[in-house]
Structure 1
Amino acid sequence: MRMSSPRFQPSSPIHGTGRRKSQFTYRQLSLLASYSTSSPLRVIAHVDLDAFYAQAEMVRLGIAEDQPLAVQQWQGLIAVNYPARSFGIGRHCTVTDAKKLCPKLIAQHVATWKEGDEKWAYHDDAASHIGTHKVSLDPYRLQSRKILALIKESLPPNLQKVEKASIDEVFLDLSAHIHSILLQRFPELTNPPPYDDPTEKLPLPPITALDWQADALIDLEDAELEADDPDWDDVVILIGSEIVRDIRAHIRRALGYTCSAGIAGNKMLSKLGSGYKKPNQQTVIRNRAVQHFLSGMKFTKIRNLGGKLGDQVVSSFNTETIKDLLPVPVEQMKLKLGDDTGVWLYNTIRGIDPSEVNSRTQIKSMLSAKSFRPSINNQEQGIKWLRIFAADIFSRLVEEGVLENRRRPKTINLHHRGQGGQTRSRQSSIPQGRTLDEATIFELAKNLFSQIIQEARVWPCANLSLSVGGFEDGVTGNLGIGAFLLKGDEARESRGTSREASVGSSTHERPEKKRRVDNPGIQRFFPRKGSSSGGDVEESLDDDVVDTVNPRIRTKEASPNRTGNGPKPIMDNYIKVCTRCDARLDDAEALQNHLDWHFAKDLQDEERGKRTFANSHSTVSRGQKTATASSSSSKKPTRASASNSKLEHGQSKLKFG
């Protein structure tokens, strides 16, 4: 029911003890602020770009909105704008067939990579070079990131929960944002519940009509059931529609894109709503209209019900419509589909979906692939494509912040498919601790390719794909322990600079105050002098992710307990002094870095001594080692060994030999 009245119209009933109450409680209102999936007042929006790839090309080329356009990939179409759809053109059409239906159709080929290019580009002759070009969707990824950033910019920084569902669709949990607006518009909701009982019912909203403006509002099954006075679930979803309308307008003004949206009480309904009226419209599904909205729909339109599970449901119950499934008891669904699936289906066709909006929008992997038509037949051809894959992936890694160490992948995988369909894969780790560049990715890919070639016959090759994954956030601002292990002239220059600083700052020295840390803490993870534990120190240092462990804590706790002459800092208000080499540093952070250098040097010298000791006893028999190991295993586990059983994120185990 669409009203032309103001957005909120005051209600005629006077507040009093006899006034009807809302069906919602104070507790349910408070749940709205915490994004609780159990709140019946929850509001979720789904924003979907209209024919996104086609729109991106129209915006890039400055093409009028009424001009038919399709995005071409080789001889097929991957996107068709709405003016072109009116001619009966779909993604199943070939370019030739589409131009027969609409002679004025603009068929824009996607950007492609070709060997020798440092970046993807738009090539006029790309369609005739399927054997030497590879499709790039990077232009659309870049636009997608801009749109996502704009959506986040439109929401309060502390009240946004955004999930990028794909390159052209986003879920928004607007609950907490709406809660804050609700308290501003209706201050009476800030009062405590009567008798301080959160289960008390809320008063009804002090309004009689809601203005849904241009929204596609799903009607109720019986128009007479439309209440004169809305309840709070209607009010919150109206506020949600206002927020989404503003977001869509902002995207339109700033970037030129239109998008459709669905606003409802959960993710499933909002996604169905965004596709209900296209293009450039938004659909509102109130709680009271859910059953009417779903009843005439095929359940195969619902996510996870369009594939094999959907086919199984159709064959089990001889129907495709939700309306026909509603009378089926849950026990019968469980019997035919299994307990979990049966309950899930029973709830889904009734519009129940407790899934959360996942605010993690970062990608988990990157893939660059090519299907060869015709197949390639030698290693030289394959390596040419690996070079393109490496350039493709690296250009996207740069956008993810790999150069600034914000995010980087841990693994690389090469997948090969032969002409007969047989597949082979090889994976390796990506070296950490150094800048990741295109050449590194290319070399790793070639190594994996060589492994696949050596193990079996791989020609002709029908498909190759290179991917990186296992992304983790980088650590910036911290120095690895290797940064403190200076050698030769660099070390002498460092010591000379420290002594000069000591002489130059001596006139400003104030009474010294010693600071001591007695807690052994992290010291227990390191072998004591005289221990027989061996191992390669450089390997141990590489394996221990020092950047993720606070080096300040490590030095203060470990160094004094490891050696009798460990660095003991002298602290004062202006300069920091190292008693080990008399260096004076400007501040506590500089002193701590200096002490870490001493500690790392001591550790290196000590471990070198242990290796010499271990080498001199290399004639120990295997039986003696076994007996020692057996004896050690019978002892009660130490605290250090127990702590090694579980590592914090970003840490790895030190090797003690």
Structure 2
Amino acid sequence: MDDTIMQSSSSACSYVDNEHSRSIIHIDVDCFYAQVEMLRNPELRAVPLGIQQKNIVVTSNYEARNYGVQKCMLVTDAVKVCPNLKLVSGEDLHNYRAASNKIFEVLLTWKCPVEKLGMDENFIDVTKLVEEKVKSGNQTLIGHMYNEMSMECPCGCHTRLKIASQIASDMRQKIYNDLGYTTCAGIAHNKLLAKLVCPLHKPNDQTTIFPESAEGFMSTLQSVRCIPSIGSKTTETLISHNIISVSDLQKASLEELKKNFSSDMAVRLKNLSLGEDSTPVKQTGRPQSIGLEDSFKTVSVKSEVEDKFSALLQRLLVLVREDGRIPVSLRVTLRKKDAKRLSSHRESRQCQISPSIFTITNGTLAVTDAGQQKLMTIIMRLFNKLIDLSKPFHLTLVGLAFTKFQERMTGRSSIVNYLMNDISVQSVLNLQNDCDTSATSMDYSAASPSSSTTTDLSDAEVEPSPKKPKKVNWIAKRRCLSKEEVASPSKLKVGELRLNSKELEKVSELRLNSRDRSLTPRASPAKDNLSDASDSMKDVAEGGNCDDCPSYVDKEVFNALPDEMQQELKAMWKNPSSSEVQRSSPRTTNKAKPNTILKYFVPHK
């Protein structure tokens, strides 16, 4: 090994341990659409097969590729290079989505984070699984290795990646055994390298790359566009500064890149060119949006646009039914034909929709004919906001998507059932102060069904969101606590000590009398009335420390309060008139009121 290789290996292995600690697998299904069709119809396996969408061959099997059929080739050109090409329509993606989900479920059986990338690609972080297997002693690498190096990295990444290659082989074998799909795989210490080395030995094979080979491998890429994180606009900017290949990007100085990009973006581009990527594998959950699009040469009549949307909606409702969640937001997308723009551009509008449009029938999400008509009305309203019908228009694409969801009801008594109701006010009737009940009543506020969903404010007027219910304060039922339940004051709820409606009326009337009389020189009648009232409210059983409590106070609850609170409440009950005068005195109206326990126990009008 010459000095340059030794230096490169030494510098590569000088990274800190955590830069090589991960083990990432990227699995890609060979000619995915074509394999789905060949499994559905085995007669297609022995013939050149192309999957057609509109006038394009989006993919083909390897028999057709041997004739020169390429991805995204025009159908007319594909037939010229392969006259016996068998074409199958692939515009309906239902079968492809179903196959993708099955592959994803197989990968989940390894109990590792799995991140979907499109329908035919998946990242799997097997770091923890490798750590469990590293002690087994079997370090045989399965598949190909990119530019095998003789120098071992001191962090142990070579051993870990060899074990990861064994796991990748097991995954690919299980996918084939269970579902019949052949796959290829890339194994590396980061997502970028795993994806880029994956197709090196297609089909039905796998490749492992060690960290010290990253920079050399990246320098072989002929275009910066080959790096997945670099888009078309960034590519155009780089090319305008004579940075065409990844090797050019490696040679460019950081200062030069910062002149055309932000500091963070410049560092990111430099790291990617060297094969460095710290992006984690994020476990894929249920999709945040479900959508479909239809492209065509041109449509210039509103009725034709409505037909396109209607067809998309029918297909979209099938996908939503399979998903099971209830949509609460709808987005419409259009692509206008514009000769002045070289690249196509899209415009979209979205709005909230009422969950009541969807119903649950025999455990399955469904939409009635009236519901579909309402959805079409919303769609065309959004369309009218995007298109000025007083002027000619030309569209080359329309799209529909449900962009936000709420989980479906799980039962009649589920809390979800209440949160999904499209209501404006929830009322509470016939609240009684029954001491024989065992249920605890608290203060509740009605929840809005759209509280967890938002939409573009500019479109909110299209379909009004469900009305947000006003907060309804419930007067809690007085709870008859057992001695065990009041062992600690921390178990008490302030709402449980509030008065019921009849007691509120009684005490309020008492307050009014005391207030009116306190403003006159004749104070003795007021005292007499108060004393009479106090006598009438002292109807409590003997025993405990609440001999002076009014009848509306639960003795056991009162006894569980701290002594300071008990004394404060007793003082208020003995002299309620002074408390009222102090509260209503003009001298104290502008002063900050002390945060006293009284405000929680004294009933308000």
Give the TM-score band, short-chain normalised: 0.5 to 0.7
- CA offset digits 1:603-648 (Å, max 9, x no partner): xxxxxxxxxxxxxxxxxxxxxxxxxxxxx9x999x9xxxxxxxxxx
- CA offset digits 1:560-603 (Å, max 9, x no partner): 5676279xxxxxxxxxxxxxxxxxxxxxxxxxxxxxxxxxxxxx
SS at match of 1:476: coil
| Alignment gaps of 5+ in structure 1 | 1-22, 29-37, 111-134, 187-206, 402-406, 486-494, 496-511, 526-538, 567-631, 639-657
| Counterpart AA for 1:466 | L
How far is 1:70 from its partner? 0.6
1:558-569 alignment runs, 5 A limit? 560=496, 564=500
Match of 2:374 in 1: 443
1:226-241 alignment runs, 5 A limit? 226-227=151-152, 232-241=156-165
How far is 1:348 from its partner? 1.2
How far is 1:271 from its partner? 0.7
| Counterpart AA for 1:143 | A
SS at match of 1:146: helix
How far is 1:216 from its partner? 1.6
Match of 1:80 in 2: 60
Match 1:386 to one of 288, 304, 309: 309
CA contact (8 A) 1:414 1:445 kept: no
Match of 1:162 in 2: 114
CA contact (8 A) 1:445 1:466 kept: no
- CA offset digits 1:485-530 (Å, max 9, x no partner): 9xxxxxxxxx9xxxxxxxxxxxxxxxx9875859x665899xxxxx
User: Percent of pairs identical after alignment?
Assistant: 25
Match of 1:300 in 2: 225
Match 1:219 to one of 147, 154, 167: 147
- CA offset digits 1:245-272 (Å, max 9, x no partner): 1111111122211111111011111110
Match of 1:266 in 2: 190
Match 1:63 to one of 31, 43, 51: 43
Q: Partners of 2:391 and 2:335 in 1: how far apart?
A: 8
Structure 1 residues 388 and 516, CA gap change in structure 2 (3 angstroms): closer
Match of 2:96 in 1: 140
| Counterpart AA for 2:102 | K
- CA offset digits 1:141-178 (Å, max 9, x no partner): 1111111111112x13xxx1011111111111111121
- CA offset digits 1:424-468 (Å, max 9, x no partner): 754321213563533424422323414644864366553432221
Q: Verify: 1:397 aligned to 2:320, yes or no.
A: yes
Match 2:293 to one of 346, 355, 369: 369
Structure 1 residues 561 and 468, CA gap change in structure 2 (3 angstroms): farther
Q: Verify: 1:467 aligned to 2:391, yes or no.
A: no
How far is 1:336 from its partner? 4.2
- CA offset digits 1:276-297 (Å, max 9, x no partner): 2211111101122222322322
| Counterpart AA for 1:88 | G
Match 1:427 to one of 315, 328, 350: 350
CA contact (8 A) 1:150 1:251 kept: yes
Match of 1:173 in 2: 125
CA contact (8 A) 1:522 1:558 kept: no
Q: Partners of 1:141 and 1:484 in 2: how far apart?
A: 32
| Counterpart AA for 2:376 | A
The two structures, once aligned, show a CA RMSD in angstroms of: 4.2
Q: Partners of 1:410 and 1:323 in 2: how far apart?
A: 48
- CA offset digits 1:66-124 (Å, max 9, x no partner): 532111123321112222111111134333332332233211122xxxxxxxxxxxxxx
Match of 2:390 in 1: 457
Q: Partners of 1:554 and 1:79 in 2: how far apart?
A: 68
Q: Partners of 1:72 and 1:635 in 2: how far apart?
A: 76
Q: Verify: 1:48 aligned to 2:4, yes or no.
A: no
CA contact (8 A) 1:523 1:561 kept: no
Structure 1 residues 447 and 410, CA gap change in structure 2 (3 angstroms): closer
Q: Partners of 2:287 and 2:374 in 1: how far apart?
A: 24
SS at match of 1:326: helix
| Alignment gaps of 5+ in structure 2 | 1-12, 340-344, 360-365, 423-429, 448-463, 480-492, 503-588, 596-605
For the pair shown, the structure with the greater C-alpha radius of gyration is: 2
CA contact (8 A) 1:218 1:284 kept: yes
CA contact (8 A) 1:259 1:281 kept: yes
SS at match of 1:276: helix
Q: Partners of 2:306 and 2:465 in 1: how far apart?
A: 35
Match 1:410 to one of 316, 324, 328: 328
Q: Partners of 1:347 and 1:523 in 2: how far apart?
A: 52
| Counterpart AA for 2:374 | E
Structure 1 residues 283 and 384, CA gap change in structure 2 (3 angstroms): same
SS at match of 2:398: strand
How far is 1:418 from its partner? 5.6
Match of 1:345 in 2: 269
How far is 1:355 from its partner? 0.7
State TM-score, norm by structure 2.
Answer: 0.62
Q: Verify: 1:320 aligned to 2:244, yes or no.
A: yes
SS at match of 1:470: strand
Structure 1 residues 558 and 72, CA gap change in structure 2 (3 angstroms): farther
Match of 1:611 in 2: none
| Counterpart AA for 2:43 | I
- CA offset digits 1:221-267 (Å, max 9, x no partner): xx5x444x986211111111111111111111222111111110111
CA contact (8 A) 1:24 1:232 kept: no
Q: Partners of 1:255 and 1:483 in 2: how far apart?
A: 39
Match 1:309 to one of 207, 213, 234: 234
CA contact (8 A) 1:218 1:285 kept: yes
Structure 1 residues 258 and 521, CA gap change in structure 2 (3 angstroms): same
CA contact (8 A) 2:161 2:187 kept: yes
Q: Partners of 2:381 and 2:229 in 1: how far apart?
A: 39
SS at match of 2:355: coil
SS at match of 1:543: coil
Match 2:75 to one of 92, 95, 105: 95
Match of 1:625 in 2: none
| Counterpart AA for 1:314 | I
Q: Partners of 2:93 and 2:116 in 1: how far apart?
A: 17
Q: Partners of 1:301 and 1:181 in 2: how far apart?
A: 34
Structure 1 residues 169 and 483, CA gap change in structure 2 (3 angstroms): closer
Match of 2:84 in 1: 104
Structure 1 residues 396 and 305, CA gap change in structure 2 (3 angstroms): same
SS at match of 1:415: strand
Instruction: Select the structure with the greater relative contact order (CA < 8 A; seq sep ≥ 6).
Output: 1
SS at match of 2:196: helix
| Counterpart AA for 2:147 | D
Q: Partners of 1:432 and 1:555 in 2: how far apart?
A: 37
1:474-513 alignment runs, 5 A limit? 474=408, 476-477=410-411, 478-479=414-415, 480-481=417-418
Structure 1 residues 451 and 86, CA gap change in structure 2 (3 angstroms): closer
Q: Partners of 2:249 and 2:77 in 1: how far apart?
A: 40
Range moving further from structure 2, 136-145 or 557-566: 557-566
